[in-house]
Structure 1
């Protein structure tokens, strides 16, 4: 597969992080509303605080990865559109990232396969946090009747 196609495919995959981010935003909002409603109603106390706090922390962590994934998606897309001068653009990119302290100088000049692998790892980290949010939400939805009963 040509490098411009690899860059296009990677950018397309990384743009899927936006869907994960929107799902996470909803779950984070759900956690905040759940925690607020329970504190106003003085309901379950510990368990509602645990659920809402967990959802909020996971949401904040996910937001960090979402920002990094979106940044990489834009970079890969721009580079794919200018793939005919990729070596020149790679050097400019490395210089810009190093100047802005977004990349250590020793990471410059890496092969594109490593860069693509690293970018997809960011997306995987984001997906793992969203999955943890979904599981935590499902756990508390299913466990809520027993938590109320147990007191």
Structure 2
């Protein structure tokens, strides 16, 4: 079971690369918006959308890194798993990071939640690059029509 903690912790730590890629997508989108000849309201709306995607991506990255560090600490713990789990649940509830109703879940369910978090982050990254591609076509179209 401890190997599951170690493997999933390592996987969740790969979130840094995903986040950096998201920042690249945002930076390129921002540069395209600066070069666009489109009206200000459209540029502002597109920039706001890209910022919201980046903020959501950044939030998920923070959550994934937090989970990675928790899993790493649990893997290194010498206490029995059921005691560590109870302590973890109590701490998360105390700091209002987890609702009381989720206490006592099994580790299979928790691991699946971590994987869903990583998949959600990958989905947001995909959305950022899709927005970049749409902005590129939009900028090319606007600039072509202006000339």
Same fold (TM over 0.5): yes
**Could you say which residue in structure 1 is the equivalent of 2:103?**
108
Contact kept, 8 Å, 1:51 with 1:137, in 2: the verdict is: no
Which range moves more in the overlay, 123-132 or 20-29?
20-29
What pairs up with 1:105-144 in 2 under 5 angstroms?
A: 105-144=100-139
Q: Secondary structure at the match of 2:96?
A: coil
Q: How far apart are the structure 2 equivalents of 1:53 and 1:131?
A: 17
Q: Which runs of 5+ in 1 are unaligned?
A: none
Asked whether the 8 Å contact 1:15–1:70 carries over to 2, the reply is: yes
2:19 to 18, 21, 25: 21
TM-score, normalized by length of structure 1?
0.84
SS of equivalent to 1:56:
helix
Task: Please report how far the alpha carbon of residue 150 of structure 1 lies from its aligned counterpart in structure 2 after TM superposition.
Answer: 3.9
Q: Write out per-residue CA displacement over residues 65-117 of structure 1, whole angstroms, 9 at most, x where no aligned residue.
A: 11111110110111112266222111110110010111112211111000000
Aligned length: 145
What is the alpha-carbon distance in structure 1 between the residues aligned to residue 78 and residue 24 of structure 2? Answer: 37
Answering whether residue 60 of structure 2 is matched by residue 60 of structure 1, we say: no
Report which structure shows greater RCO (CA 8 Å, sep ≥6).
2
CA RMSD of aligned residues (A): 2.0
Summarize the alignment of residues 32-71 of structure 1 with structure 2, pairs less than 5 Å apart. Answer: 32-35=30-33, 37-38=34-35, 43-45=37-39, 46-71=41-66
Q: Is the 8 A contact 2:29 2:135 kept in 1?
A: no
Indicate the residue corresponding to 1:10 in structure 2.
Answer: 8
Separation (CA, whole Å) in 2 of partners of 1:50 and 1:147: 16
Task: Tell me how far 1:53 sits from its aligned partner.
Answer: 2.4
Say if 2:32 and 2:139, in contact at 8 Å, map to a contact too.
no
Q: Which residue of 2 aligns with 1:88?
A: 83
Over 3 Å counting, the alpha-carbon distance change for 1:4 and 1:142 in structure 2 is same
Relative to the length of structure 2, the TM-score reads 0.86
